[in-house]
Structure 1
């Protein structure tokens, strides 16, 4: 074909769509996104932290600002194994903007800044006793209305705490996330913004023996541009096939593309000293003997709680027999499938509190019409 013929043919083609970014069309999957991994101080999400002394040791508690009225509920958040009270940072920011409440986020024994003699004793009896004592010591003038919210291990603790005689009259509601005795799933924090706040409370500087949370102010900016790039990406078709296999087995849920992060092991981050290394705050494998006790009899215990109950699951396929029957019997419990992304969990818990008239919405919460947008709570 001559040059003249090529020119004539090109003129008959529709105009090219202009590129909206400088990313090459051959760029690997996900290369167009730039995420900031710089640690963030917890002070952006909580008003203060207090160290509560009980017989077992010192427990770190993070508090949002006090509510506008003493009768407003305190939402007590209990994290899962390996995490800390700071895992609820974004949840705290969201829910306090929707309803009038105060968030009380506790570092459970062996986690975060809580200091006890026996960090490996994570038996359900010990954990429940710890939380019960912390609440009594924290609210010396009388325990206000409480709404317990727990994830995984924290959910199991929340259920048992709500049944304690000394607290039962104060519990106005309970919400547990991804906790089913017959099909316990391991939770993962897939939110980068949440990890930026909570991760420093989950690792210890091997040189100083202190949590990385104490070094946040000195961290330099870290983005995925500064992290080593993967040597190669699996073909897109292969990645889709692997994900489909997991979903077929009921092991994963579909997430929007922009919330899924491809993990890259980072180098140590600090003041440039390559010898600085970190280790996990708690070695969960040493607590394995307690795992069965966390969830044994949990479904029956959850259904026996007198206060309004909410169970949030990534998939309703995870319901065991007792909870399936409980869901079918009106009034015994509310079961809701939630994607656990962004502000969805906070919206569901806020709607749950409003539906049972535990508090009032803020101006923003009223505009969101939570009771209409989150049915079934």
Structure 2
């Protein structure tokens, strides 16, 4: 059977219906006996029933306010879980496609949406999936293509070694997927990466292998803060709940535990981060991040300088100004990249405030005049490319 939620301290929500109603004693009024009095009026005659007319049943007395019939029925137990019922990807993306990398055993799952504009290629953070961008993609696809990839060891992607999450391997995976999807005719691409995916996006851009890469969006990851937090990561992972009796409980935990603040996004993004454990008869995490510790330092070491050196337009979306390190502070003052602080959100900005996130992406594309084939120069028929 499924063990209890490890480390779970769930708030209790007591309903008035959880406490049974007390049946109050009825008060009996004793009236003094009266002698019967003879009536001078004849007893009234009952009206005769016509043929075929149904008999009138005597009216039943109205039930007492304290009777069992007056107690509202207890709500069905499944109603509380309906709030956290999983949602399907097809309501947000137009297509789901497996990308088979030639001459390997690797198959990467991608979600696609939109039919015009440049490609916004999204890379999720560690432990998330491509559906982390679902709500934002539903808005971005109005003016751009959106591709959200399940990285190695995440979501529905399968590889020969799902635990190899080194930055070199992850970077090569993304390059291979883009080349397999588009060949030599790569459209204009804007790389968007959240957390660990932000580091991967920076490394892909720094490789300079795509001449038509025109934008880099890094979401809430800074080298200084990330490196300082690594010493606490194992404890953080150990303290989270590890087993869930059903998917709804996992979604509920992600919201009440504080990792996500948008219930709708959690309902679409959490299910692909889980897998069913047959031996325990419950759900657990798809990606065992605690087993990939040897790669963590490589994700973030030297990230700030590499980000600043990327020869494309750049924007850094942060959930707080305290996340800037020295290199980025100097670079931002020198105008080497645009920085936006998004208020009232947690670490997963694209999930907590998807409308605002999508607006920042579309504004970035418009401001830098990035079209489907590259940077569009007004008045010229052709577009300029790197």
Aligned pairs (5 A) from 1:168-247: 169-184=211-226, 188-207=259-278
Rounded to whole Å, the distance in 2 between the matches of 1:199 and 1:122 is: 20
- In the TM superposition, what whole-angstrom CA distance separates every residue of 1:247-284 from its partner, at most 9, and x where no partner exists? xxxxxxxxxxxxxxxxxxxxxxxxxxxx8411110110
Check 1:309–1:35 CA distance in 2 against 1; reply closer, same or farther (3 A cut). farther
Aligned: 1:51 with 2:98: yes
What's 1:88 paired with? 133
Rounded to whole Å, the distance in 2 between the matches of 1:188 and 1:174 is: 25
What's 2:155 paired with? 112
Check 1:49–1:207 CA distance in 2 against 1; reply closer, same or farther (3 A cut). same
- Aligned with residue 342 of structure 2, among 333, 338, 341: 338
Task: Return the offset for 1:206.
Answer: 2.0
What's 2:118 paired with? 73
Rounded to whole Å, the distance in 2 between the matches of 1:347 and 1:276 is: 42
Report SS of the residue matched to 1:116.
coil
Rounded to whole Å, the distance in 2 between the matches of 1:96 and 1:311 is: 21
Rounded to whole Å, the distance in 2 between the matches of 1:287 and 1:113 is: 19
Rounded to whole Å, the distance in 2 between the matches of 1:35 and 1:44 is: 18
Q: TM-score, normalised by structure 2?
A: 0.63
Which runs of 5 or more residues in structure 2 are unaligned?
A: 1-14, 17-79, 234-257, 344-348, 373-386
RMSD: 2.2
Report SS of the residue matched to 2:223.
coil
**Aligned residues, how many?**
256
Aligned: 1:319 with 2:324: yes
Task: Return the offset for 1:65.
Answer: 3.0
Which has the higher Rg, Structure 1 or Structure 2? 2
Task: Return the offset for 1:35.
Answer: 7.7
Task: Return the offset for 1:165.
Answer: 3.1
Check 1:34–1:344 CA distance in 2 against 1; reply closer, same or farther (3 A cut). farther
Aligned pairs (5 A) from 1:1-377: 36-54=83-101, 55-67=104-116, 72-97=117-142, 100-140=143-183, 142-167=185-210, 169-184=211-226, 188-207=259-278, 276-330=281-335, 332-339=336-343, 340=349, 341-342=352-353, 343-359=355-371
Report SS of the residue matched to 1:76.
strand
Task: Return the offset for 1:104.
Answer: 0.5
Rounded to whole Å, the distance in 2 between the matches of 1:349 and 1:180 is: 19
Rounded to whole Å, the distance in 2 between the matches of 1:338 and 1:201 is: 26
Report SS of the residue matched to 1:204.
strand
What's 2:45 paired with? none
Check 1:324–1:56 CA distance in 2 against 1; reply closer, same or farther (3 A cut). farther
Task: Return the offset for 1:190.
Answer: 2.1
- In the TM superposition, what whole-angstrom CA distance separates every residue of 1:81-140 from its partner, at most 9, and x where no partner exists? 00100111001012223xx21101000000000001211110000000000001000113
Which runs of 5 or more residues in structure 1 are unaligned?
A: 1-22, 25-32, 209-274, 361-377
Q: TM-score, normalised by structure 1?
A: 0.64
Asked if the contact 1:56–1:130 (Cα under 8 Å) also holds between the matched residues in 2, the reply is no
Asked if the contact 2:152–2:162 (Cα under 8 Å) also holds between the matched residues in 1, the reply is yes
Check 1:347–1:34 CA distance in 2 against 1; reply closer, same or farther (3 A cut). farther
Report SS of the residue matched to 1:163.
helix
Asked if the contact 2:115–2:141 (Cα under 8 Å) also holds between the matched residues in 1, the reply is no
Task: Return the offset for 1:333.
Answer: 0.5
Task: Return the offset for 1:141.
Answer: 5.2
